[in-house]
Structure 1
């Protein structure tokens, strides 16, 4: 895990993002949960720790400087990317994570509980069928669907 911690810390610095020790720890806990659950639920094809840091955690962090405070909807969140990473980084923002795969949203809900994320709500459903009263300040998505 030390190698992953170094990659995360260095990568975040390159993105201009400072990570507190607590935040870094939570991000790595999330990654460890993803590795554990991935064996059963096939959350991601990327399974090695260093690759998960680069392709999941840092990739999700890269968008952070371009976002603003508010209520965010993560469409097609899968295993919680980028929504969980952003929620860890911005505990004062609200995040709603939506995915049609109940196994993946079950995992995300477990992450929310285990990490104590009070700013995340998880819903299972297709975006075109989902009806929500809440207005969002922004919508984000990562690898949501095939293009074309």
Structure 2
């Protein structure tokens, strides 16, 4: 990883987040960043073009999710199987690809309605050897895959749309985790009555002076 121009910045971010990753993960994360940059020249995967800005606004932003998910995983029964995770509206694979890289035992499926974005995620999985990463091009409400214990989203939609559209894919005892800049009162008020916001967890993203939070939700 040391030869990459952003390796030091990534390493500093990982230390600030107190994250321990598999040995190959930092190299894979930077390779993923390079793939986004390369594909961005042809496809509009993200409006951010500068790799250093991508590192802070995309990569480190998603890496800030790993610690809270680790903590939640630690509360599961000791004999529970590794998480099956669905990332809705994954776009360029944020946070789904990041989670698949950081936690190889988790099975991560990314769903997006844009074919080129699902194709990009498949290419990432093939080039980086991510056997635990899957991508599907369809609407989440049309999916027929078995339910998932955890469903994530990052800037996908309002909370009401997020939980309503993906509800059929949530396993019994499962939970939703939405990444938000800030949870507005109006958006919170629209959450269906049969869904509970368990907590709103503030996030600190290294190098990013902006509000971030995780919204944890479960069915009643």
TM-score bucket of the superposed structures, by smaller chain = over 0.9
Query: Could you state the TM-score of these two structures normalised by the residue count of structure 1?
Result: 0.92
Larger fraction in helix: 1
- Match for residue 152 of structure 2? 140
Number of equivalences: 147
Q: Which protein, 1 or 2, shows the higher relative CO under an 8 Å CA cutoff with sep ≥ 6? A: 1
The runs of 5 or more residues in structure 1 that have no matched partner are none
- Match for residue 75 of structure 1? 88
The runs of 5 or more residues in structure 2 that have no matched partner are 74-81, 160-186, 188-220
1:17-96 counterparts in 2 under 5 A?
Answer: 17-19=19-21, 21-67=23-69, 68=73, 69-96=82-109
Max radius of gyration: which structure?
A: 2
Larger fraction in strand: 2
* Residues 29-72 of structure 1, C-alpha deviations (whole Å, 9 max, x = no match): 00000000011111001111111111111111101111124110
**Deviation at 1:129?**
2.1
**Deviation at 1:20?**
5.1
Over aligned residue pairs, what C-alpha RMSD do you find?
1.6
**Deviation at 1:21?**
4.9
Contact 1:94/1:119, CA 8 A, preserved across alignment? yes
Query: Could you state the TM-score of these two structures normalised by the residue count of structure 2?
Result: 0.63
Secondary structure of 1:42's counterpart equals: coil
- Match for residue 107 of structure 1? 120
